[in-house]
Amino acid sequence: MDKFIINGGRRLKGRITIGGAKNAALPILAGTLLVSEGESIIENVPNIRDIDVMLKVLEVLGANIDYDPDKHRVIISALSIDNYRAPYDLVRKMRASFLVMGPLLGRFGKAEVSLPGGCVLGSRPIDLHIKGFQSLGAEVTEEDGYIKAEAKRLRGGEVYFDRPSHTGTENIMLASVLGKQTTRIVNAACDPEIIDLADFLNLMGAKIKGAGSTFIEIEGVDLLRGCHYSVMPDRLVAGTYACAAAISGGELYLDGASEEELKLPLMKLKNMGVEISGDGGGLFISAPHRLKGVDITTFPFPGFPTDLQACFMSLSTVSNGVSTIVETVFENRFGHAMELKRLGADIKVTGDRAVVNGVGKLKGTSVMASDIRAGAALVIAALAAEGSTEVLRVYHIDRGYERMDEALKSVGADIKRVSD
């Protein structure tokens, strides 16, 4: 298990190129299972652990994978899929493995995927995915810890989400592109990664309209052909490095970051005193003054992203004044608060609300990452802490950030990776 050792207090300055988005690449890779003619060439795939898990799942199902992580390119042939079961030992490593259910069901009319099991962010059920598959005409059962779904050919239909689910929307899109008739998703999630998935599927021959809005219409087609596609840049990685610039009082250019996809986090950063400008190709972030406290409520896109809540909590620990952070998307996403307190932060958590009283300084000590974004937030806090901070269990960070230590080091952070 690796850990990071960070000596805080360095002002970050320079340029970071934002790589491909994990949460777009994962459903796109799952979507390559739908192809029955030609191969899929996917570019800008981030070199992170969650991608390794997804590729392993595809391999277990019988896909041929040619992956060059340094070039960020994967070539996938799904012509010889001969297994329809995604096993527990892979799905438990990454819930998003459940995204293969939609394409398997859509193309082959059968799929068995292990229940993802417990999750550090709360119970995280998959009932919306299952209800959606049933609305399309699938028979879904649960047996020995596996969800089994069957349908001769999905007919399509109306899918109503009680609440917008990001991967739920993607799974239904993936299942229905080869449907007999038209599918309509009502109260769909609107995240930019869903648009990226729709663009990819449409390039393969799918007929999807409305992705990025709450109403998506998918007209079933008979066949999808392989294509060449490049994954969108990662808005959450961009948001994380924007926070790194802000907490260090630094100046960063984030190459590939888009203002459009980060509207609320950027507005909150501006409220905190951060200066931001874009040039069409990326964002300049600079933080010339001490940060001011901020109030945040997480919400499905275009609301404030739950995935940046932890990093903003780190910022608020050293900001001037009181910040209130409310988490409405996940029931248990304050795991980082206790660790931030170990660094000297003044945080009170009650239910879904954290009240953070900004302190003058954090002080380095040992802290432990509990999930991808909580880990990133601890690194951000450590950049501002006096002395040395040890961030343990960085494998969580490696699930979603490509070599975060090297990226931060390249702009002046004093950070090293140590194998325990």
Task: Report the interface residues with ligand EPU, using CB under 6 A.
Answer: 22-23, 26, 96, 124-129, 163, 165-168, 189, 306-307, 329-330, 372-373, 400
- Establish whether 119 is a catalytic residue: yes
Question: Are residues 408 and 13 in contact, defined by beta-carbon separation less than 8 angstroms?
Answer: no
**Looking at beta carbons only, is 37 or 331 nearer to ligand EPU?**
331
Minimum Å distance from CB 124 to ligand EPU?
Answer: 4
**Looking at beta carbons only, is 55 or 318 nearer to ligand EPU?**
55
Minimum Å distance from CB 332 to ligand EPU?
Answer: 10
**Looking at beta carbons only, is 13 or 131 nearer to ligand EPU?**
131
Minimum Å distance from CB 394 to ligand EPU?
Answer: 15
Look up residue 142 and give its two tokens.
């649960």
Separation CA 8–CA 412 (nearest Å): 11
How wide is the angle at C-alpha 130 spanned by C-alphas 83 and 196, nearest 5°? 75
Separation CA 299–CA 305 (nearest Å): 6
Question: Are residues 159 and 182 in contact, defined by beta-carbon separation less than 8 angstroms?
Answer: no
Minimum Å distance from CB 166 to ligand EPU?
Answer: 3
**Looking at beta carbons only, is 108 or 330 nearer to ligand EPU?**
330
According to DSSP, the β-strands at 346-350 and 353-357 are antiparallel
Q: Alpha-carbon Rg of the chain, whole angstroms?
A: 21
**Looking at beta carbons only, is 257 or 287 nearer to ligand EPU?**
257
The SS3 call for residue 5 is strand
Half-sphere exposure of 51 (CA within 13 A, CB side): 27
Tokens 């009181």 appear where?
A: 322
Minimum Å distance from CB 27 to ligand EPU?
Answer: 7
Query: Tell me, what DSSP letter sits at residue 293?
Result: P
Catalytic residue selected from 119, 190, 227, 243: 119
Separation CA 236–CA 193 (nearest Å): 11
Residues noted as catalytic:
119
